[in-house]
Amino acid sequence: MRAWRLLGLALACAATPAMALEVEGRYRASPEADCEAGDGAEGFLRIEDGVFHGLSGTCKMLNPVNVRDMNAQLFDMECEGANPNFQWTERALFMEGAEGGLILAWNGYAFRYERCPVLSETAEAEAAPAAPPAEAATATD
């Protein structure tokens, strides 16, 4: 019986922490940024496949740690700038904002970014047929 408890404890400790937060997507770096602009446009942050594409470089998001009682995770960030000789390592906290979007905190700095709608969602909404006017739908004369 004791062996089963030890095995259960070992399996629980070996489990990888689950993603508490879905951060992948595109975010406005400023309120003026147009979410309709293509991927090459300036003024956006993008998180894709565990890589943070910022305004001045990219960072691999490694070793996620869930923050207890918060929808947030800490990451070790291995970053490099536009010049490959400019590299740094930093810790960053990613958290869902109370009003949506992303809160990103680096040592001493915190930023809030609005999430851009997924392009396929925008295209589907525009392609959906408009509902008939209410009076036309209810008229039976």
pLDDT for 13-40, tens place per residue? Answer: 333 344 457 899 999 988 888 888 876 6
Confidence of residue 139 (pLDDT cuts 50, 70, 90): very low
pLDDT-derived band of residue 137, with 50, 70 and 90 as boundaries? Answer: very low
Q: What is the pLDDT of residue 120?
A: 59
pLDDT of residue 14: 36
Plot region of 25 (φ>0 → left; ψ -120 to 50 → alpha; else → beta): left
pLDDT at 104: 96
Q: Cα–Cα distance between 101 and 30 in angstroms, integer?
A: 12
Model confidence, pTM: 0.67
- Confidence category of residue 111, pLDDT binned at 50, 70, 90: very high
H runs (alpha helix) in the chain: 2-14, 119-127, 134-138
Question: What is the pLDDT, as a whole number, of residue 107?
Answer: 92
pLDDT in tens, 50-100: 999 988 889 999 999 999 999 999 999 999 998 878 899 999 999 999 888
Q: How many CB atoms lie within 10 A of CB 59?
A: 21
* DSSP designation for 23: -
Best CA proximity match to 57, nearest among 83, 34, 24, 33: 83
In the numeric block, the tokens 């689950």 are attached to 18
Q: Which residues of 95-113 are buried (b: 16+ CB within 10 A; e: fewer)?
A: bbeeeebbebeeeeeeeeb
